[in-house]
Amino acid sequence: MPEKFFADTWYWVAYLDQTDAANAAVRDLYDALVDDTIITSHMVLDEVLGTFTSDRTAYLRKKAVELIDSIREDGVIIIDQTAQQFHDAVHRYRMFEDKQWSLTDCSSMNIMQEQGIQTALTGDHHFVQAGFQILP
């Protein structure tokens, strides 16, 4: 039975950046999960485009846009950002002010709970703090 995984910003950045130490591992993992369901969100992709690639090379910016096209074609589910989702993420952010979780982390964790996902594709220990498993 296929499993569901949530792909975090860390995962997509490592996938894009060939100089990233995790690049080969995340690409291999992506190929290995071909029969499973990968879910991500518009907030995550906004972080990829905005925070991690907007001030980098034109090549990496181009690759980030191509990645979004590619994952759509591959059937990755991209969760829309809604006003309610934003509100709920702010609520989690407020509830866990002792953590260093970003608003996108909070939104991602909420999506994972709503979708019954236990494993995040990430190297971000914040997901472990929230009780989730991480890969790779």
Percent over 90 (pLDDT), the chain: 86
Q: How many angstroms separate the CA atoms of 1 and 35, rounded?
A: 9
Could you read off the pLDDT of 62-107 as tens digits, one per residue?
899 999 999 999 999 999 999 999 999 999 999 999 999 999 999 9
CA 84 to chain centre: 19
Assigned token pair, 33: 């999960």
**Across 6-22, average pLDDT:** 95
Cβ atoms of residues 134 and 123 within 8 Å: yes
CA distance 2 to 17: 28
3-state SS string over 77-88? Answer: EEECCCHHHHHH
Domains of the chain (ranges, CATH numbers): 4-135 (3.40.50.1010)
pLDDT value at position 27?
96
pTM over 0.85: yes
